[in-house]
């Protein structure tokens, strides 16, 4: 992400009008995850979509796999576990600097904002920084923080929906992990 200068915080705060019909034409379950669809209805959309297939089952937990989730231009392998009160999604792809940058931009397109970032064990807490500085200054400080490290440095980025940014218990938690070899996008939907 070295040299990356696009604003990470001052993204859009709405979701519905931002979805690309190309990216989401077949992924109704993704739209349902990001909007206020109740969890039980979201689970039904997942099961009815036909995209996921059961790949494991353990005591009370069903696991499903998705061989190719096209998230905008990226092709990701997905795993999902259904629990009574939450859903865990994990998407994987090989590391490429451009893929990481595009995933960051696409999360922003979908109405998510960065809440915390750790690169090589150094943390930038966006939530706390915004209590002290303006969003414009925090955005500049965050870009400076990111640019101190090589693109393939180990990092994790925590995201929330913009309208849940200040919520103590957001309904969706997103973590983007990269270690220079793999990229993983983890999502917990409550």
The answer on pLDDT for 6 being more than 70 is no
Q: Where are the beta strands (DSSP E) in 72-181?
A: 74-82, 87-94, 112-119, 122-125, 155-161, 172-178
Q: Name residues whose C-beta falls within 8 Å of residue 44's C-beta, 6 or more positions apart in sequence.
A: none
The reply to whether 8 falls in a domain is no
- What pLDDT is attached to residue 59? 64
The reply to whether 9 falls in a domain is no
Domain range holding 166? 16-189
**How many domains are there within the chain?**
1
Q: What is the mean pLDDT of residues 77-103?
A: 91
The reply to whether 32 falls in a domain is yes
How many residues appear in the chain? 190
The reply to whether 57 falls in a domain is yes
The reply to whether 115 falls in a domain is yes
The average confidence (pLDDT) of the chain is 82
The answer on pLDDT for 22 being more than 60 is no
Identify the residue whose tokens are 């070899």.
181
The answer on pLDDT for 170 being more than 80 is yes
The reply to whether 152 falls in a domain is yes
Strand partners, 87: 82, 189
């Amino acid at each position: 992400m070295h040299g990356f200068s696009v604003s990470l915080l001052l993204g859009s705060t709405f979701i519905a009008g931002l979805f690309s019909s190309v990216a989401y034409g077949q992924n109704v379950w993704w739209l349902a995850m990001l909007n206020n669809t109740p969890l039980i209805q979201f689970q039904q959309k997942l099961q009815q979509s036909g995209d996921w297939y059961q790949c494991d089952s353990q005591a009370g937990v069903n696991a499903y796999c998705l061989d190719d989730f096209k998230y905008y231009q990226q092709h990701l392998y997905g795993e999902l576990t259904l629990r009574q009160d939450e859903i865990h999604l994990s998407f994987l792809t090989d590391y490429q600097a451009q893929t990481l940058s595009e995933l960051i931009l696409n999360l922003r397109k979908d109405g998510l904002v960065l809440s915390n970032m750790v690169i090589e064990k150094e943390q930038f807490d966006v939530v706390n920084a915004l209590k002290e500085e303006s969003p414009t200054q925090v955005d500049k400080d965050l870009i400076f923080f990111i640019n101190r490290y090589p693109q393939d440095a180990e990092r994790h980025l925590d995201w929330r929906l913009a309208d849940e940014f200040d919520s103590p218990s957001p309904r969706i938690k997103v973590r983007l992990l990269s270690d220079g070899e793999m990229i993983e996008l983890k999502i917990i939907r409550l």
